[in-house]
Structure 1
Amino acid sequence: MHYLMEKLQKDHRNLEKILDLLELQLDHFLAGRESDFDLKIELLEYMEAYADQAHHPLENIIFTATKPLADDRAELMDRLMQQHQELAHLTRTFRHSLENIFQGGVMPREELEVQGREFIALQRQHIALEEQEAFPIVDDLLREEDWKTILEQSPNYDDPVFDKPDKIRFQTLFEYLSQAGSENGTAS
């Protein structure tokens, strides 16, 4: 497996951690318990800053390179690239809803719950589809010369939370992950 595919799989594990944390915070909020709005907003800002601006664009380059080789599986590559656009829109919409509530706006809890649950479920379904169906196709079809071309087109962007932490922009998220890591006996 090419190291870019390993990087994408690592990104998926990290995105799953973010989705788990978002789901936990959403559960607390909807149950009327203490919930950290700064953290929820930072989680979505991370999704925008990394997933939508670096991770998905890299996948799009890879899926575009795979599509002409994929024959009857080319539609899957198109569907995943379309999902990237839809997920980016859902991320922005959900973040705006959270920011509106944080700033004193009014929104029914049920509406926020639908947005949040839909966002989390679709992100997880998307990751599963890539891991189970698309990545094996990519791994099977792309050759070294394809990877060279992909590398030339790839965005050069570090993960601002898990690889090179931006402790100012994602202060609340970094503190939460550091605290959770120390409570579990692991460093983050």
Structure 2
Amino acid sequence: MHYLLEKLQKDHRNLERILDLLTSQLAQFLAGRESDFDLKIELLEYMEAYADQGHHPLENVMFSVAKPLVDEQADLLDRLMQQHQELAQLTRTFRYSLENIYQGGVMPRDELEVQGREFIALQRQHIALEEQEAFPLLDSVLREQDWASIIEQSPNHDDPVFDKPDKIRFQTLFEYLSRVEQGETPAAG
């Protein structure tokens, strides 16, 4: 498997960690327990900063290069690229909702729950589709010259949490992950 596919799979593991954390924080909030809005907002900012601006654009380059090579499976790649746009919009919408509540705005709890659960479910379905169908397809059809073209066109965008940490922008997330890695159960708020 090409190292770029391995990188994307590593990204997916990290994104799944973020989604697990968001799921936990959302469940606490929806159960009426204290939850950390700074953390939830940072999780979505991370999704925007990396998934939407680095990870998905790299996948889009790969999908575009592979499309002419895959015939009837081009629809799968088109669908995934369309999902990237839809997921970016869902991320923004959900983050705006959380920020609004954090700043004292009013939003029905069930509406926020629908937004959060939809966001998390669609992210997980998207990752699964890429892992199970798209990545094996790319691995089977892309040749060395295709990979060279992909590398040339690829965005240079580092992961601001897991690769080149931005500990100022994502301070709450780093503190939470650090406590988890040390075996502590982080406080909610």
State the TM-score, normalized to the length of structure 1. 0.97
**What is the aligned partner in structure 1 of residue 180 from structure 2?**
180
Q: Matches of residues 36-185 of structure 1 in structure 2 within 5 Å?
A: 36-183=36-183
Residue 164 of structure 1: CA displacement?
Answer: 1.1
The reply to whether residue 14 of structure 1 matches residue 14 of structure 2 is yes
**What is the aligned partner in structure 2 of residue 3 from structure 1?**
3
In the aligned structure 2, how far is the partner of 1:118 from the partner of 1:83? 13
What letter matches 1:8 in structure 2? L
Q: Deviations over 1:104-163 (max 9, x none)?
A: 000000000000000000000000000000000000000000000000010111110011
In the aligned structure 2, how far is the partner of 1:25 from the partner of 1:117? 12
In the aligned structure 2, how far is the partner of 1:165 from the partner of 1:177? 12
In the aligned structure 2, how far is the partner of 1:51 from the partner of 1:182? 26
In the aligned structure 2, how far is the partner of 1:159 from the partner of 1:88? 16
In the aligned structure 2, how far is the partner of 1:65 from the partner of 1:111? 39
Q: Deviations over 1:1-34 (max 9, x none)?
A: 1100000000000000000000000000000111
In the aligned structure 2, how far is the partner of 1:85 from the partner of 1:156? 19
Give SS of 1:135's match: helix
**Unaligned stretches of 5+ residues in structure 1:** none
Give SS of 1:107's match: coil
What letter matches 2:26 in structure 1? L
State the TM-score, normalized to the length of structure 2. 0.97
What letter matches 1:83 in structure 2? Q
What letter matches 1:162 in structure 2? F
* Identical counterparts, % of pairs: 80
What letter matches 2:133 in structure 1? E
In the aligned structure 2, how far is the partner of 1:164 from the partner of 1:181? 18
What letter matches 1:4 in structure 2? L
Give SS of 1:121's match: helix
In the aligned structure 2, how far is the partner of 1:22 from the partner of 1:81? 24
**Stretches of 4+ aligned residues off by more than 6 angstroms:** none
How many pairs are equivalent?
Answer: 184
In the aligned structure 2, how far is the partner of 1:73 from the partner of 1:157? 28
What letter matches 1:3 in structure 2? Y
